[in-house]
Chains A and B, each alone.
Chain A
Amino acid sequence: MTLAEQISADRDTYFNDWGKTVSYTQTRRNETSSITAIFTNEFELVDLVDHQVETMTPELIVKDEDAPYLEDGDKIVRNGVTYYVRGIRPDGYGLTTLMLSKD
Chain B
Amino acid sequence: MADPISQQIMEAVDIALKTIWRTDGYNTDLGNRVYEWRKAPVNIEDAECVIYRDMAPSITRSVGEDIYELPVEFILIGQNDNIPKIARSMYADIVKCLFANETWGGLAERTVILPPEDVEYIHHEHTFAGIRFRAIIDFRTTQGDPYTQA
Contacts and interface: CB of A to CB of B under 8 A. Distances in A.
Given A48-B122, A51-B41, A101 B127 contact: yes
Interface in B90-130: 118-120, 122-130
A37 to B, nearest CB: 17
B83 A54 contact: no
Contacts of B75: 49-51
A11 interface: no
A48 B125 contact: no
Contacts of B51: 51
A58 to B, nearest CB: 5
Nearest to B118: A49
Contacts, number: 74
Interface in A34-65: 41, 44-46, 48-58
| Interface residues of chain A: helix, strand, loop or mixed (majority) | strand
Interface residues of B, number: 26
Interface in A2-48: 41, 44-46, 48
Among A46, A52, A57, A58, the one with the most B-chain Cβ atoms within 10 Å of its Cβ is: A46
A91 interface: no
Contacts of B79: 103
Interface of B: 41-44, 47, 51, 75, 77, 79-81, 83, 118-120, 122-132
Contacts of B126: 55, 101-103
Among A53, A86, A100, A101, the one with the most B-chain Cβ atoms within 10 Å of its Cβ is: A53
Contact of B41 (A41, A52, A86): A52
Interface residues on A, range: 20 to 34
28 contacts: A45-B41, A46-B122, A48-B77, A48-B120, A49-B77, A51-B42, A51-B51, A51-B75, A51-B77, A52-B41, A53-B42, A53-B43, A53-B77, A53-B122, A53-B130, A54-B41, A54-B43, A54-B44, A55-B125, A56-B124, A57-B124, A87-B123, A102-B125, A103-B79, A103-B80, A103-B81, A103-B83, A103-B127
A49 B41 contact: no
A98 B29 CA distance: 33
